[in-house]
Structure 1
Amino acid sequence: MNGLTGAYVPKDSPMHRLPAGAKLAGLAVACTVVVLLRSPFALAGAAAVTAVLYALSRVGPAAAWAQVRPVRWFAAALLAVQWVVAGPEAAAVTTTRVVLAVALAGLVTLTTRTSELMAALERLLAPARLAGLDPFRLSLLLSLTVRTVPVLAALAGRVRDAQRARGVERSLRAFAVPLVVSALRHADALGEALSARGLDD
C-alpha cells in the first residue's frame, strides 16, 4: 500500500525505528504543546527541536521542505492578516504554530510506512466496532487522506514548473486545468490499486 501515495523515505534512523503508535502519540502531544506556547522565543525553541528531529530522521532537506512547501502561501497570507489584526508578535506566533504542526505531521509520514501507520490507527480506532464501523477502513481512509497531501503538492509543483517553461505562469487556467486532470488521474490510479487489493466496496 505504501507505493500508492506514500511520502515515506526509507532510512535507518532513530525516527524510523520508533513504533508508529509512539510517533502518533508524540505527534498529538507535540501539537498540543505547540498550540499552548505563546512566546515567539518558546516557539523558536520548538522549531529548533523540530529541525533536530528532521536531522535525526536523515530524510534530507528536500523532503523536509516538501512537507511545508504546500502551506507557504497560506502561511504568508495568515501572517499578513494577523499582522494587521493582532500585531507582529501574534502574527508570528500563529503562523509558526501552523507551520510547525504541518512539519511535525510531515515528519511522521516521512518516517512511517503506510502499513505501520494503518496498523497503529486500526488499533486506536478499535472501539469504533461498537458503533458498527470497520476500524481497518477508517484507518485506511485517514492514512490515504494524510498521504494525499504531499502527492497533490508534488503535482502542483510539476504543473507550476511546466507553466514557467511555457511562459504562462500567470495564467490561472493554465495551472488549474492540468492540476485537476493530474489529480483525477491520480485518483483513478489509486482506485484501480485499491480495487486490485479488494478494497473497492
Structure 2
Amino acid sequence: MIGVFHPGDSLVHRAPALLKLGLLAALVTAIALQHSVLVLGGACVLVAGIAALARVPFRLLWRQLVPLLWLLAIAVPVQLLLAGWELAVTVALRLLLAVVLAGVYSLTTPVTETLDAAQTLLRPFRRWIDADRVGLALALAIRAIPLLGEIVAEVLDARRARGAEGSIRAVAVPVIVRALRTADHLGEALVARGLDD
C-alpha cells in the first residue's frame, strides 16, 4: 500500500513535501541509530502522535504493516536466539516505526509532490544527474512496492484456494518468477517509449 495517497486536510497533509521528506529522513535515521528500548518506546509515542495528527485511517496504516509482520516473524525469533530479547525488541521497533513513518508520509503526500521534491533536491546537481530520470526511477520504485505486495497476496490467495500449505520457498519461488515477469514487461514498455538509452 505504500505510495497510495489518502486525501485529507490535516496539518501533515498540508505540509510541503520537502519538509516531510526531511523530517522522515531525520526521524528514520535517529530511530535506526537508537539502541535503547526505552527511547524507542518514547519514539513509539511520538510516531503514534504523528499518525494521529495526520488523521489517516488506522486500517490503511495496518495494511502497510502486515507484510512486515512476515519478516518480523522470522527476524525476531532469530534475534532472540542469537542476541537476546533486547536486540530482538530493538530490531522489531526500528522496523515498525520506520514503516509507519513511511506509511504516514506516503498516505499524506501525492506521488507527484514527492517527485517534484526529489527533482528540486537534485536541481543543483543537474550537471551530473538527470533529475527527470531519477524522478522516473523513484516513481517506479514507489509503484513497485504495492505491486510486489499485490503479487504476494495473489500467490497466497492461490495457495489457500488450492488448500496448499507449504514452506516459505513454496511461496517465494512463484513470487520471484511473477516479479521478474512484471519487471520484463515494464522494461519492454520503457524501451517502447524510447527510455532505453
Q: Identify the TM-score tier after normalising by the shorter chain.
A: 0.7 to 0.9
Q: Is the alpha carbon distance of 1:182 and 1:79 closer, same or farther for their aligned partners in structure 2, counting shifts above 3 Å?
A: closer
Aligned to 1:97, the other structure's residue is in SS state helix
Structure 1 distance, partners of 2:14, 2:92, is 31
Structure 2 distance, partners of 1:48, 1:187, is 43
CA contact (8 A) 1:152 1:183 kept: no
Structure 2 distance, partners of 1:48, 1:199, is 48
* Superposed displacement of residue 51, structure 1: 2.1
Residue of structure 1 in register with 2:148 after alignment: 152
Quick one: which amino acid aligns to residue 146 of structure 1? Answer: I
Q: Does 1:106 align with 2:120?
A: no
Residue of structure 2 in register with 1:7 after alignment: 4
Structure 1 distance, partners of 2:80, 2:27, is 25
**Cα distance per residue 1:96-131 (max 9 Å; x no partner):** 112211221222112111110000001111233222
* Superposed displacement of residue 43, structure 1: 0.9
Residue of structure 2 in register with 1:68 after alignment: 65
Q: Is the alpha carbon distance of 1:61 and 1:177 closer, same or farther for their aligned partners in structure 2, counting shifts above 3 Å?
A: same
Residue of structure 2 in register with 1:200 after alignment: 195
Question: What are structure 2's unaligned runs of at least 5 residues?
Answer: none
Q: Is the alpha carbon distance of 1:200 and 1:169 closer, same or farther for their aligned partners in structure 2, counting shifts above 3 Å?
A: farther
**Cα distance per residue 1:167-194 (max 9 Å; x no partner):** 12427557743674377358737964x6
* Superposed displacement of residue 24, structure 1: 0.4
CA contact (8 A) 1:68 1:103 kept: yes
Of the three residues 84, 89, 100, the one matched with 1:87 is 84
Tell me how many residue pairs correspond in the alignment.
194
Residue of structure 1 in register with 2:162 after alignment: 166
Structure 2 distance, partners of 1:138, 1:115, is 13
CA contact (8 A) 2:5 2:108 kept: yes
Question: What are structure 1's unaligned runs of at least 5 residues?
Answer: none
Identity rate, percent: 37
CA contact (8 A) 1:67 1:150 kept: no
Runs of 4+ in 1 over 3 A off after TM superposition: 171-176, 178-192, 198-201
Structure 2 distance, partners of 1:12, 1:22, is 17
Aligned to 2:4, the other structure's residue is in SS state coil
Residue of structure 1 in register with 2:130 after alignment: 134
Task: Compute the TM-score of the two structures, normalised by the length of structure 2.
Answer: 0.82
CA contact (8 A) 1:125 1:139 kept: no
Structure 2 distance, partners of 1:178, 1:34, is 31
Structure 2 distance, partners of 1:15, 1:199, is 38
Aligned to 1:125, the other structure's residue is in SS state helix
CA contact (8 A) 1:15 1:111 kept: yes
Aligned to 1:130, the other structure's residue is in SS state coil
Q: Is the alpha carbon distance of 1:187 and 1:149 closer, same or farther for their aligned partners in structure 2, counting shifts above 3 Å?
A: farther
Of the three residues 36, 41, 51, the one matched with 2:33 is 36
Aligned to 2:134, the other structure's residue is in SS state helix
Q: Is the alpha carbon distance of 1:55 and 1:191 closer, same or farther for their aligned partners in structure 2, counting shifts above 3 Å?
A: farther
Q: Is the alpha carbon distance of 1:175 and 1:78 closer, same or farther for their aligned partners in structure 2, counting shifts above 3 Å?
A: closer
Structure 2 distance, partners of 1:113, 1:53, is 18
Q: Does 1:45 align with 2:27?
A: no
